A and B are shown apart, each in its own frame.
Chain A
Amino acid sequence: MGSTGEGLGRRDLIKRSAALGLITVPTMSFLSACASGGEENSTKGPAKAPVTKENPFGVGKGGKLDVVVFKGGFGDDYAKAWEAAFDKKWGTTSSHLGTQEITAKLQPRFNGGNPPDVVDDSGAQQIKLDVLAKGDQLADLTAVLDAPSLDDPSKKVRDTLVEGAYEQGLQGGKFVVLKYVYAVFGFWYSGKLFKDKGWTPPKTWDEFLAVCTQAKEAGIGGLAHQGKFPYYINVVIMDLIAKKGGLEAMKAIDNLEPNAFEGNPAALAAVEAVYEVVEKGLLMPGTNGLTHTESQTAWNQYKAAFIPSGSWLENEQLKQTPEDFDMKFLPMPLLADSKLPFEAIRAGVDEPFIVPEKAANKAAGLEFLRSMLSREWSTIFAQQANSLTVVKDGVDPSVKLRPGTQSAVDALKAAGGNTFSYRYPDWYSEMDSEIQNASNELMAQRIQPKEWIKRAQAAVDKAAKDPNAKNNKRV
């Protein structure tokens, strides 16, 4: 049977509609992703209780508590334990979601005006904090800081936090993010490998290069890095800049100054130092194309001497690390004429917890954060997640830490007040992403240090046009 030639035959109709349907296939998912939930939801929270000293936010008994946590390196058992404790105390019924897909799960809820009460907004698919802050989606957490501490009601919560916890929770000058985990950044090495080979942990960049060269002669890669995620090699570059140029150099970058990179000798020296590793062939072969798990696992198999990372590394690699590996932390080695001492380290707070502004039970959300900053909950976290928290001396001494975490704690003690931390990745996502691209090119030897400086400065200049740039100032 052929087509009849009159008007649209059945076959033609089907064919054309199929073709029309087909063109929608690739665009459909992206277009419909763009559709928002539209109107605001006006769900009412539970009845508020009167505000007292024990109940500073007026949590109503027997309400609901909606918690969403990132289920990554720390797992989510700690959160379940917290929720049980919270329900017991306040008679709430909490719902728990542990997921890696924070954006996919929460974006429609933020747009629809019915977000959860507490969110651990972390991981590769976190909703960027600068974006949330610009959309007025984050509750002001200053009230939590000013509330009495659960451990000692004569103290305010703010006085029980480690250095930096407050500053790193600011967005546009407002404290809206509670970063709960305390992490240090630097190089990591195997105590066993170094002992077997008779290497000493380097303190200067020249000694660092010397160990890398010895490693290469022994058939081992010098430096491994998580090439597919240039975030990590940026830690090395940026920390070298901060240590050589001092805190001023770091703040110039965060404050988007016109000479943050260009015309800054510390920046050029740092990039050249990292490039020297590439030029001398001291990188672990192939490391530029590996994911973080692939390169970290190779390092665990003694295929490289050093790897840069934060103190979550040990927990992340638990299954791949040999029993006698003896993981050790090393502060970033010094370039000549550095302003900060060798012991200085990037100590950052991480794992951002937020309470959405439009949370149905905002009071309970705030109370939940206050409870997290108690010694009891902090110890629960340290036990379940093998990590430190932002609560000062918040871990019960009876908790035994693993060797890597222990060495990080020791380094932190040695650093004393000499800790520093960058803000730009939280404040300017686009600039961060552009600098990461440049670093990837640098490590692959496709651009030279001077070109890196130019590109990084261009990214800074672009970010300076962000309307929020005037609120994000550090002094």
Chain B
Amino acid sequence: MSQVARSKGRAGFITGFLIAPLALYLTFVIWPYVQTFGYSFTNWSGQSPTFDFVGTDNYATLLKDEVFRGALWHNLLLLVFVPVVTILLALFFAFMVNAGGRSGAGGVRGVGGSRVYKVVYFFPQVLSLAILSVLFGAIYRSDEGGLLNGFLTRIGLIDAQHPVEWLNEPDFVLWALLFVVVWHGVGFYLVLFSAAMQSVPKDIYEAALLDGAGRAQTFFKVTLPLLWDSVQTAAVYLGIAAMDMFVLVSTMTSGQFGGGPDHHSEVMSTVLMRNFLYFGKSGYACAMGVVMLALTMILSIVTLRATRRERIEF
């Protein structure tokens, strides 16, 4: 069989398998997108099949909507901090449990007890976001019954009459939520990076060791470049988590679908849901959805482009 004929046959074979999933994808993903785009030009209330066409009014209102703009700003802040903090911590811990230890015989291994650490670090990942919000709700609770407040009162750092209302502090609430996301994510990325590190041949490390490289040098000159693909994937995933944040914000903060106090923890998805389900402005909410889609697309493309590097093969 000629080369061409064989590849043609293979293409047909692959296409045959792809048709069914493609049809499903078109029906359940692409079609709702198209519909949403259409609804974003209407004044649909969300609770009735009737509505009028209003042109680009929704988008014009959106530009002037201060709550939405504030939410966008919060999403951008999270977009910077969630991936950076999570990846840095995960890389550090992964390096320590895999290659951070030193042994007299010159082997490469993690710090003592690294197996235990790996398991412990992974714990948060098995918790669902709903459990997480209950858990941290109890930690951040605003009276003495809260873990943080209880602890800080006992050691005398805060006055029992004036406990800190962690999730009700405009300047703090977003960071409190950021902490939860990072806490939840680090374990997973630690395991991801560990797996990647373990596929790095030991002899590379040994060579670096023989050349007298310290921990920091080994990490920056050997580990990080070899892990770049995994880091890139992690950045995209975490960026997406930062663009969403819906579950945590809506369950942990005050306001209909969260966002409180006074819009200080608002993210785009909470503003969207409030307009969609609570204010009966579903057409307007759909316009927000379209904007979110456009932003996430740009984000993904930028991340993949900006982090592109020469591949290292080993």
A27-46 interface mask toward B, CB cutoff 8 Å, 1 = contact, 0 = none?
A: 11011111111111000000
Q: Pick from A19, A111, A436, A446: contact of B236, CB below 8 A.
A: A19
Q: Which residues of the other chain, A, contact B167 by a CB distance below 8 angstroms?
A: 289
Alpha-carbon distance between A112 and B21 when the two chains are bound, in angstroms: 27
Alpha-carbon distance between A294 and B165 when the two chains are bound, in angstroms: 14
B155-179 interface mask toward A, CB cutoff 8 Å, 1 = contact, 0 = none?
A: 0000011110111101000000000
Q: A31-B289, A32-B28, A110-B47 are in contact. List 5 more A-B contacts (CB 8 A).
A: A26-B241, A34-B39, A229-B254, A285-B161, A433-B274
B13 to A: closest C-beta gap in Å = 14
Q: Which residues of the other chain, A, contact B297 by a CB distance below 8 angstroms?
A: 23
Is residue B3 within 8 Å, beta carbon to beta carbon, of the partner chain? Answer: no
Q: Which residues of the other chain, A, contact B223 by a CB distance below 8 angstroms?
A: none
For A24, A31, A288, A290, which residue has the most chain B Cβ atoms within 10 angstroms?
Answer: A31
Q: Pick from B32, B140, B237, B269: contact of A35, CB below 8 A.
A: B32
B144 to A: closest C-beta gap in Å = 7
Is residue A99 within 8 Å, beta carbon to beta carbon, of the partner chain? Answer: no
Contact (A26, B254) CB under 8 Å given A33-B276, A35-B36, A131-B45: no
Contact (A437, B50) CB under 8 Å given A19-B300, A24-B29, A285-B161: no
Contact (A135, B50) CB under 8 Å given A34-B36, A286-B141: yes
For B48, B140, B240, which residue has the most chain A Cβ atoms within 10 angstroms?
Answer: B48
Alpha-carbon distance between A352 and B92 when the two chains are bound, in angstroms: 56
Is residue B46 within 8 Å, beta carbon to beta carbon, of the partner chain? Answer: yes
Alpha-carbon distance between A294 and B45 when the two chains are bound, in angstroms: 34
A402-443 interface mask toward B, CB cutoff 8 Å, 1 = contact, 0 = none?
A: 000000000000000000000000000110010011101100
Alpha-carbon distance between A287 and B293 when the two chains are bound, in angstroms: 39
- Give residues 25-78 of B contacting A (CB, 8 Å): 28-29, 31-33, 35-36, 39, 44-50
Is residue A246 within 8 Å, beta carbon to beta carbon, of the partner chain? Answer: no
Contact (A23, B276) CB under 8 Å given A227-B254, A287-B143, A288-B165: no
Alpha-carbon distance between A287 and B145 when the two chains are bound, in angstroms: 11
Closest 5 A-B residue pairs measured CB to CB?
A: A289-B142, A135-B48, A286-B143, A131-B280, A26-B244
Is residue B272 within 8 Å, beta carbon to beta carbon, of the partner chain? Answer: yes
Secondary structure at chain B's binding surface: helix, strand, loop or mixed? helix
Q: Which residues of the other chain, A, contact B44 by a CB distance below 8 angstroms?
A: 36
Is residue B313 within 8 Å, beta carbon to beta carbon, of the partner chain? Answer: yes
**20 residue pairs A–B, Cβ–Cβ below 8 Å:** A24-B29, A26-B243, A30-B273, A33-B276, A34-B39, A36-B35, A107-B46, A128-B280, A131-B45, A131-B280, A134-B48, A135-B280, A136-B48, A227-B254, A285-B160, A286-B144, A288-B142, A290-B142, A290-B143, A436-B255
Cβ–Cβ contact A131 & B46, under 8 A: yes
Alpha-carbon distance between A30 and B35 when the two chains are bound, in angstroms: 12
For chain A, give the interface size range: 35 or more
Cβ–Cβ contact B32 & A34, under 8 A: yes
Cβ–Cβ contact A31 & B32, under 8 A: yes
Is residue B184 within 8 Å, beta carbon to beta carbon, of the partner chain? Answer: no
Contact (A290, B263) CB under 8 Å given A2-B311, A34-B289: no
- Give residues 77-127 of A contacting B (CB, 8 Å): 103, 107, 110-113, 127
Cβ–Cβ contact A136 & B255, under 8 A: no
Is residue B97 within 8 Å, beta carbon to beta carbon, of the partner chain? Answer: no
Alpha-carbon distance between A294 and B304 when the two chains are bound, in angstroms: 46
Residues of B within 8 A of A (CB): 28-29, 31-33, 35-36, 39, 44-50, 140-146, 149, 160-163, 165-168, 170, 236-237, 240-241, 243-244, 246, 254-256, 260-263, 269, 272-274, 276-280, 282, 285-286, 289-290, 292-293, 296-297, 299-300, 304, 311, 313
- Give residues 260-318 of A contacting B (CB, 8 Å): 281, 284-290, 294, 298
A132-146 interface mask toward B, CB cutoff 8 Å, 1 = contact, 0 = none?
A: 101111000000000
B180 to A: closest C-beta gap in Å = 16
Alpha-carbon distance between A135 and B48 when the two chains are bound, in angstroms: 5
Alpha-carbon distance between A446 and B173 when the two chains are bound, in angstroms: 15
When C-beta atoms are compared, the residue in chain B nearest to A3 turns out to be B311
A20 to B: closest C-beta gap in Å = 8
Is residue A365 within 8 Å, beta carbon to beta carbon, of the partner chain? Answer: no
Q: Which residues of the other chain, B, contact A135 by a CB distance below 8 angstroms?
A: 45, 47-48, 50, 280
Is residue A392 within 8 Å, beta carbon to beta carbon, of the partner chain? Answer: no
Q: Which residues of the other chain, A, contact B311 by a CB distance below 8 angstroms?
A: 2-3
Q: Pick from B35, B144, B277: contact of A103, CB below 8 A.
A: B277
Cβ–Cβ contact B141 & A26, under 8 A: no
Cβ–Cβ contact A111 & B29, under 8 A: no
Q: Which residues of the other chain, A, contact B289 by a CB distance below 8 angstroms?
A: 27, 30-31, 34
A313 to B: closest C-beta gap in Å = 19
When C-beta atoms are compared, the residue in chain A nearest to B292 turns out to be A27
Alpha-carbon distance between A446 and B44 when the two chains are bound, in angstroms: 37
For A134, A285, A441, which residue has the most chain B Cβ atoms within 10 angstroms?
Answer: A285
Q: Pick from A22, A127, A286: contact of B47, CB below 8 A.
A: A127
When C-beta atoms are compared, the residue in chain B nearest to A441 turns out to be B262
Q: Which residues of the other chain, A, contact B35 by a CB distance below 8 angstroms?
A: 34-36
Cβ–Cβ contact A285 & B286, under 8 A: no
Q: Which residues of the other chain, B, contact A287 by a CB distance below 8 angstroms?
A: 142-143
For B47, B140, B274, which residue has the most chain A Cβ atoms within 10 angstroms?
Answer: B47
Cβ–Cβ contact A130 & B46, under 8 A: no
Cβ–Cβ contact B168 & A227, under 8 A: yes
A11 to B: closest C-beta gap in Å = 10
Q: Which residues of the other chain, B, contact A436 by a CB distance below 8 angstroms?
A: 255
Q: Which residues of the other chain, A, contact B304 by a CB distance below 8 angstroms?
A: 19
Cβ–Cβ contact B243 & A34, under 8 A: no
- Give residues 129-185 of A contacting B (CB, 8 Å): 130-132, 134-137
Cβ–Cβ contact B276 & A34, under 8 A: yes
Q: Pick from A20, A23, A38, A136: contact of B299, CB below 8 A.
A: A23
Q: Which residues of the other chain, B, contact A132 by a CB distance below 8 angstroms?
A: 47-48
Is residue A203 within 8 Å, beta carbon to beta carbon, of the partner chain? Answer: no
Alpha-carbon distance between A459 and B104 when the two chains are bound, in angstroms: 72
Cβ–Cβ contact A26 & B240, under 8 A: yes
Alpha-carbon distance between A112 and B48 when the two chains are bound, in angstroms: 8
Alpha-carbon distance between A300 and B255 when the two chains are bound, in angstroms: 25
Alpha-carbon distance between A110 and B48 when the two chains are bound, in angstroms: 6
Is residue A230 within 8 Å, beta carbon to beta carbon, of the partner chain? Answer: yes
Is residue A444 within 8 Å, beta carbon to beta carbon, of the partner chain? Answer: yes
Contact (A289, B277) CB under 8 Å given A230-B254, A433-B256, A437-B263: no
Q: Which residues of the other chain, A, contact B168 by a CB distance below 8 angstroms?
A: 227, 288-289, 440, 444
Q: Which residues of the other chain, A, contact B165 by a CB distance below 8 angstroms?
A: 227, 286, 288-289, 444
B165 to A: closest C-beta gap in Å = 4
Q: Which residues of the other chain, B, contact A136 by a CB distance below 8 angstroms?
A: 48, 50
Is residue A25 within 8 Å, beta carbon to beta carbon, of the partner chain? Answer: yes
Q: Pick from A26, A113, A227: contact of B292, CB below 8 A.
A: A26
Is residue A228 within 8 Å, beta carbon to beta carbon, of the partner chain? Answer: yes
Cβ–Cβ contact A107 & B261, under 8 A: no
Contact (A429, B279) CB under 8 Å given A135-B48, A440-B262: yes
Alpha-carbon distance between A433 and B280 when the two chains are bound, in angstroms: 13
